[in-house]
Amino acid sequence: KAGVTQTPRYLIKTRGQQVTLSCSPISGHRSVSWYQQTPGQGLQFLFEYFSETQRNKGNFPGRFSGRQFSNSRSEMNVSTLELGDSALYLCASSWNPGQGANSPLHFGNGTRLTVT
């Protein structure tokens, strides 16, 4: 079974631009989560999507948004990029049969975004 795939692997953008990152979950997984990882803040939760609906959201400004498609693939978008948005963006998927059940997260290897 293929793992979680994130594209692109590396991205360099200029301050003020916008960027879209893509994530293909493991086949059969319906939940997709996004995390930001920086040396100073560590791994921070951005948002989670399930059946095309955002179910949970972390404490990030509205410039960060996402969506999930009917095939469970997900994209996240960052508008008006700032230097502080430079980070590793990680996508994770899980089977997630329902509340109370257990389904570990499976992470991709991330997109390394550099804002100059």
Question: Interface residues with other proteins (CB under 8 A)?
Answer: 4, 31, 33, 35, 42-45, 48, 56, 58, 90, 92, 94-96, 99-110
Q: How far is it, in rounded angstroms, from Cα 101 to Cα 71?
A: 22
- Least Å distance between CB 66 and other proteins? 14
- Least Å distance between CB 10 and other proteins? 11
Of 76, 78, 86, nearest in space to 6 by CA: 76
Q: Which residue's CB is nearer to other proteins, number 78 or number 89?
A: 89
Q: Which of helix, strand or coil describes residue 78?
A: strand
Q: Which residue's CB is nearer to other proteins, number 25 or number 81?
A: 25
Beta carbons within 10 angstroms of residue 105's beta carbon: 17
Place of tokens 């969506």: 67
Beta carbons within 10 angstroms of residue 18's beta carbon: 11
- Least Å distance between CB 83 and other proteins? 22
Q: Which residue's CB is nearer to other proteins, number 45 or number 75?
A: 45
Helix, strand, coil percentages (3-state) for the chain, rounded to 5, are 5, 50, 45
- Least Å distance between CB 16 and other proteins? 28
Q: Which residue's CB is nearer to other proteins, number 18 or number 61?
A: 61
